[in-house]
Structure 1
Amino acid sequence: MIRLNDKWFRLVGIPAMALLGNWIFYDEINRQHNQQVWIDWIFSLLEVSLLWTQARYGILRARRRYPTLSETRQRILYQVVWFLAVTACLRLLTTFIYDVTMFWGYSYTPIRYVYNVAVGFFCIIPIAAIYEGMYLYRQWTVTYYEAQELKKINLQTQLESLKEQVKPHFLFNSLNTLQGLVMEDEKELAVAFIINLSQVYRYLLQSNEQVLIPLSKELDFIRAYVDLLKTRYEQGLTLEVNVASDVLDYALPPLTLQMLVENAVKHNRISTRSPLTIRIYSDAAHNLLVVNNLQRKQTVIPSNQMGLANISAKYRLLNQPDIVIHQTDTIFQVSVPLLQHVQS
């Protein structure tokens, strides 16, 4: 629920606005009719309290309907319409009551009605400007620090991924595989291996500065990455991709699929007799599902869940729905929301 932490603002602002407004707009006419200052100030205090309360309510409604920084224009327009309508009604009503009852000892001309409505607007404008200014500043601050945090997580992901790939055993296995292909005169396979290896590293470096990446590029990368893994696991590892063409331009955080595939490979037995199958497909709700059959290793590998936590943190900072993890005795599934279209 949206709340306004404005207790002290109201305690100081309402009396000050009542005193200042009464002095600027009504001091002359009050003197002409010999009105007592303290009575003028008390009624001015009541009227300002009423105006402030309705303005505050309108601000809360606007923030509930248009809460984000990108909706600032709609929020301000909503508030302007609210202030114009409600302030005019309240000021016309109070002026009519004073006029009919002759409360101040004189009747009101039409120009005085207009004048009182205008005074109400002049009182509301600074109040609304201060509230909106404070709200925009807080939103900008939150957005700025969330963006910095997202960059930090992205950088951490890239560094961790690079660290994982350049470990001595990975390089040794890659070079050893390449040597075997060359010695066996498998030139085409050797060339394909080198292309996939370069593609993997190029993607890791190029996606370093991006918050989101098109799904089509992420899929190209994951195919190259799995092809590298298959040089080690051969027929023991299978990748199946069935993604609708209308979501290929949708986006997701870089290396999301790499972390999910790496998670599946790390925690499951892989062999020709017991192949690990990783399926990547989309659903009608524009989610990307990554599913693998479960065949846990007998020796449990310690895991800090950093991969899944990292993906979840990115979606949270992007103000998007979180990933959904579903596990049974036979499968492990992660549903990843695809975000709106981005330029490729």
Structure 2
Amino acid sequence: MDRLNDKWLRIVGVPLTGVLANLVFFDAQNEANEVSRLTAMTLSVGESLLLWETNRLGILFSRKKFPSIKSTPSRIVTQVVWFTLLTVTLRYLLTYFYDVTQFWGYPIPSRAYLINIIVPFFFIIPIAAIYEAMYFYRHWYRSHFEGEKLKKEHLQSQLLSLKSQLNPHFLFNSLSTLSSLIPENPILAEKFTDELSDTYRYVLKTQDKVLSTLNEELSFIQAYFHLLETRFGEGIRLEVDVHSQFEDFYIPSLTLQLLVENAVKHNTVSDKTPLVMKIFTDDTGNLLVKNNLNKKVSRMASPQMGLRNIISKYKLLNQPEVIISQSAESFQVQLPLISAQEMAKLKLSDLV
């Protein structure tokens, strides 16, 4: 729920409204009955603050209960009902108190009851309408422009993934491995070809998907990792320990591939210094991807596009942040998993 940024309205605007209302609607009557203008205005300001602060609670309540743009009619109806019941009740009880106690030195006529109840609506309704218009515009702007931004991020993710998979260097290594396997081990070569095909098939299939289930991503990464194992042998290992209860949760598509590719790219991979990748979940619904560190020596700093892309996606999906931690021995990325209930709330149809 958005915080109401209305400090100055509450401090200056509402008291000023109380002063103006008293001057316009009640000043002549107060003067005729010799009521002190200072007293009348002070009480009018107090009444205005009380009335607005209680009605303001209705705005907060309606936004909490109906926060989305789609639920705008329900939010407005809730506010109207709240304003009507509260304003009528407060103004009637206050007028009745003035009438019974003759606080102003005279009894309150029946017509004054009606005026005292109706007048506040001339100020509450326009102010509340401004609040709602600003809230609606803010959410529309966020939904529209951040949706466009997420589309661009999704496209960048596709391009980045295809670039990392289909670049000439990767193809050269894969085809060289396949070429050497064909005469030496035709059965393994056939298996390697199938896994290479599965890898590209998944990449093409997920081009139009923002999110994939963890189970889908794990199946893909197993096939992708077999390619790496064929290429690096004992120099690379994968350990997966994912609770079955999280397999139907979601993560951005091709996230695991980006993290594995990132680890292979920046670390030395050999039988003597094997790269060990661990993918596991914790009890709080996070997926953790961890690898040991044996960094390659490089003169050029890495732009870390893969990691930045993943972080941006989580941010634009309004999910908890991705946590990256590194020590002298290891590098770890913590990814929040997205439940089916959260998935249903995301408007993904506009992002593909």
Interval of TM-score (by shorter of Structure 1 and Structure 2): 0.7 to 0.9
| Partner-residue secondary structure (3-state), 1:174 | helix
- The corresponding residue for 2:139 is 139
Q: CA deviation at 1:159?
A: 0.3
1:185-223 Cα distance to aligned partner (Å, 9 max, x none) = 51x323322222222222222222322211111111111
- The corresponding residue for 2:217 is 218
> Distance in 1 between the 2:19 and 2:104 partners?
24
**Alpha-carbon contact 1:286-1:338 (below 8 Å) kept:** yes
Q: CA deviation at 1:14?
A: 4.2
Comparing 195-204 with 243-252, which one deviates more in the overlay? Answer: 195-204
Q: Which amino acid aligns with 1:192?
A: K
> Distance in 1 between the 2:98 and 2:228 partners?
85
Q: Which amino acid aligns with 2:109?
A: Y
- The corresponding residue for 2:183 is 183
- The corresponding residue for 2:197 is 198
| Partner-residue secondary structure (3-state), 2:175 | helix
Unmatched tracts of structure 2, length 5 or more: 345-352
Q: CA deviation at 1:329?
A: 2.1
What RMSD in Å do the two structures reach over aligned CA positions?
Answer: 3.9
**Alpha-carbon contact 1:261-1:278 (below 8 Å) kept:** yes
- The corresponding residue for 1:157 is 157
Is 1:4 matched up with 2:6? Answer: yes
Percent identity of the aligned residues?
43
**Alpha-carbon contact 1:236-1:272 (below 8 Å) kept:** yes
- The corresponding residue for 1:289 is 288
- The corresponding residue for 1:336 is 335
- The corresponding residue for 2:273 is 274
> Distance in 2 between the 1:15 and 1:116 partners?
13
> Distance in 1 between the 2:106 and 2:51 partners?
27
1:205-244 to structure 2, matched below 5 A, reads 205-244=204-243
**Alpha-carbon contact 1:236-1:276 (below 8 Å) kept:** yes
> Distance in 2 between the 1:148 and 1:298 partners?
38
**Alpha-carbon contact 2:55-2:86 (below 8 Å) kept:** no
> Distance in 2 between the 1:16 and 1:152 partners?
52
1:1-344 to structure 2, matched below 5 A, reads 2-4=4-6, 10=13, 14=17, 18=21, 22=25, 46=45, 49-50=48-49, 53-54=52-53, 57-58=56-57, 61-62=60-61, 65=64, 68-69=67-68, 79-80=79-80, 82-84=82-84, 86-100=86-100, 101=102, 103=104, 107-109=108-110, 113=113, 116-121=116-121, 123-186=123-186, 188-299=187-298, 302-341=301-340, 342=343
Q: CA deviation at 1:323?
A: 1.3
1:219-250 Cα distance to aligned partner (Å, 9 max, x none) = 11111211122221112111111111110111
> Distance in 1 between the 2:179 and 2:98 partners?
97
Unmatched tracts of structure 1, length 5 or more: none
> Distance in 2 between the 1:196 and 1:164 partners?
17
- The aligned length equals 331
Could you state the TM-score of these two structures normalised by the residue count of structure 1?
Answer: 0.79
**Alpha-carbon contact 2:210-2:253 (below 8 Å) kept:** yes
Could you state the TM-score of these two structures normalised by the residue count of structure 2?
Answer: 0.77
Comparing 204-213 with 243-252, which one deviates more in the overlay? Answer: 204-213
1:145-187 Cα distance to aligned partner (Å, 9 max, x none) = 112111111111210221222222222222222222222351x
> Distance in 2 between the 1:306 and 1:163 partners?
12
> Distance in 1 between the 2:77 and 2:90 partners?
20
1:268-288 Cα distance to aligned partner (Å, 9 max, x none) = 111122211101011100000
Q: Which amino acid aligns with 1:320?
A: Q
